């Protein structure tokens, strides 16, 4: 059977001419440090795509544009790729979290497919390998549109908290942290392809 193909999504926004394209989805600390979730999401996605290319693993970029794309358009694109690939694609939507917590978590739809659940389990199984010092917050269920309205097996991966100063500095704004996050995502993809194709 032909291998599965990841579709990589970046949850929010982008920067055009130095101007952030999304209302909200940013956080500024007292010392002036500001993180834009859309910039982070795209930076992780770019690193993942670079590593997949080096490994010869095909993929699709769900949102190559720098501006925000409507959710309905994202879902239509993902479903087009799912049909075009003869149901071989799966979707990983990359985010960073907010709300004062710490660690990472994964979201799937309430009535998610067995493949979505298997993909989510890899995020948990591989987390301590890549981030032994941190906390995996669990696999959670909610019918976010990108999960519930696509035909693809799909997860949202929340990579640390942008309003947690320590995590922001260590993981979200540092090159080392971004490289580690991308390596984690690539490991998830490789294992899912290997064991579920």
The full DSSP string for 16-55 is ETTEE-SSS-EEE-TTS-EEEHHHHHHHHHHHHHHHHHHH
Residue 120, CB-side half-sphere exposure with 13 Å CA sphere: 23
CA distance 173 to 16: 19
pLDDT at residue number 22: 75
pLDDT at residue number 84: 97
CA distance 8 to 57: 13
CA distance 135 to 186: 19
* Burial per residue of 166-195, b for 16 or more beta-carbon CB atoms within 10 angstroms, e otherwise: ebbebbbbeeebbebbbbbbbbbbbbbbee
pLDDT at residue number 1: 46
Domains of the chain: 6-196 (3.40.630.40)
pTM listed for this prediction: 0.96
pLDDT in tens, the chain (197 residues): 469 999 999 987 777 777 777 777 899 999 999 999 999 999 999 999 999 999 999 999 999 988 888 999 999 999 999 999 999 999 999 999 999 899 999 999 999 999 999 999 999 999 999 999 999 999 999 999 999 999 999 999 999 999 999 999 999 999 999 999 999 999 999 999 999 98
CA distance 137 to 123: 11
pLDDT at residue number 2: 66
DSSP β-bridge partners for residue 57: none
């Amino acid at each position: 059977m032909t291998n599965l193909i990841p579709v990589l999504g970046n949850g929010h926004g982008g920067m055009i001419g130095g101007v952030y394209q999304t209302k909200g989805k940013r956080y500024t600390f007292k010392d002036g440090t500001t993180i834009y979730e859309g910039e982070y999401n795209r930076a992780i996605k770019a690193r993942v795509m670079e590593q997949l290319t080096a490994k010869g693993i095909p993929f699709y970029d769900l949102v190559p544009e720098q501006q925000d794309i409507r959710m309905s358009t994202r879902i239509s694109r993902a479903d087009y790729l799912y049909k075009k690939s003869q149901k071989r694609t799966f979707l990983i939507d990359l985010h960073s979290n907010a709300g004062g917590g710490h660690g990472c978590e994964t979201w799937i739809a309430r009535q998610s497919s067995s493949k979505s659940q298997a993909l989510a389990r890899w995020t948990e199984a591989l987390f301590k390998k890549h981030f032994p010092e941190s906390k995996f917050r669990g696999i959670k269920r909610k019918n976010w549109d990108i999960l519930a309205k696509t035909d693809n097996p799909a997860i949202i991966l929340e990579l640390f908290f942008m309003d947690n100063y320590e995590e922001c500095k260590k993981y979200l704004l540092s090159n080392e942290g971004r490289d580690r996050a991308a390596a984690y995502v690539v490991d998830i993809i490789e294992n899912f392809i290997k064991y579920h194709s």
